[in-house]
């Protein structure tokens, strides 16, 4: 109580306690009192909806019809997964860059990945369709332009890819509490929107083959997009607001 607002007591707050806001209907069963669970989703910044796909591609300077792959492992990157992306990018080079690719390697992973590529004889200056960035500062147009995302299964990322209905290869982080990213990823996979690959089962070649198979099948891409759209919550901010206001009333 020493950290509470002056004048408030635990007894005064008790009537307002006991609401849990979650991202998926499937989350309800994990709580002792499902009636207190409200599916609100996680808010997505409005700039993610500012662009059409065509406008986003123009903003990024993509002038041909090749699809765009976005891969990112979080702001800090992930050493193991960045190693796999080295092999992923090398294969894309060998096959003539059949798609555009923007990879966010993270602050620590960025110089390491570039050095690994150079050590394998790959100079990205010779392959402008394949970009490795330390951090993706313009995530809104990049994600809006993307045809396929390869990523972890954190709450914010999931809210963005489902809101934009983006087909996804999802590799949940094994280094989080209660393995919650695997649980998140399974829901996406069950709805058909994502291909779930565990980190211990991953490789650069497997990720590349999976991405290629998705990108070369318009039917599969459309089906995955529909699966993601089923889970997308575009009015998460309003739902959270309404939940809070109902408690206040």
* Residue range 218-235, pLDDT digits in tens: 999 999 999 999 999 999
Q: What confidence tier does 163 reach under pLDDT thresholds 50, 70, 90?
A: very high
Asked if pLDDT for residue 120 goes beyond 70, the answer is yes
Q: Label residue 2 by pLDDT band (50, 70, 90).
A: very low
What are the beta bridge partners of residue 21? 38
**C-alpha to C-alpha distance for 56 and 43, rounded to whole angstroms:** 21
From residue 104, give the alpha-carbon distance in Å to each of 7, 8, 81, 85, 123.
47, 45, 11, 10, 17
The rounded distance, in Å, linking the Cα atoms of 162 and 235 is 12
What average pLDDT does the chain have?
Answer: 91
Q: What is the pTM (predicted TM-score) of this model?
A: 0.90
Residue 4: its pLDDT value, please?
41
Strands 148-151 and 168-170: parallel
pLDDT band, residue 176 (cuts 50/70/90): confident
pLDDT classification of 74: cutoffs 50, 70, 90: confident
């Amino acid at each position: 109580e020493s950290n509470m607002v002056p004048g408030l007591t635990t007894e005064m707050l008790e009537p307002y306690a006991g609401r849990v806001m979650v991202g998926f209907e499937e989350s309800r069963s994990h709580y002792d009192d499902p009636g207190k669970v409200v599916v609100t989703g996680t808010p997505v910044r409005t700039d993610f909806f500012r662009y059409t796909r065509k406008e986003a591609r123009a903003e990024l300077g993509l002038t041909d019809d090749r699809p765009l792959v976005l891969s990112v492992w979080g702001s800090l990157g992930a050493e193991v997964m960045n190693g796999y992306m080295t092999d992923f990018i090398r294969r894309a080079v060998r096959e003539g860059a059949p798609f555009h690719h923007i990879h966010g390697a993270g602050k620590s992973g960025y110089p390491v990945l570039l050095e690994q590529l150079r050590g394998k004889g790959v100079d990205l200056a010779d392959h402008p369709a394949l970009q490795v960035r330390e951090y993706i500062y313009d995530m809104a147009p990049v994600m809006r332009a993307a045809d396929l995302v390869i990523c972890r299964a954190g709450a914010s990322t999931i809210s963005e890819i489902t809101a934009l209905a983006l087909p996804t290869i999802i590799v949940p982080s094994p280094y989080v509490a209660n393995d919650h990213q695997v649980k998140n990823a399974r829901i996406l996979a069950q709805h058909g929107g994502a291909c779930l690959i565990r980190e211990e089962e991953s490789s650069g070649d497997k990720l590349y083959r999976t991405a290629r198979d998705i990108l070369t099948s318009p039917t599969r891409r459309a089906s995955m997009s529909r699966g993601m759209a089923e889970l997308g919550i575009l009015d998460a901010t309003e739902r959270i607001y309404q939940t809070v206001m109902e408690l206040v009333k």
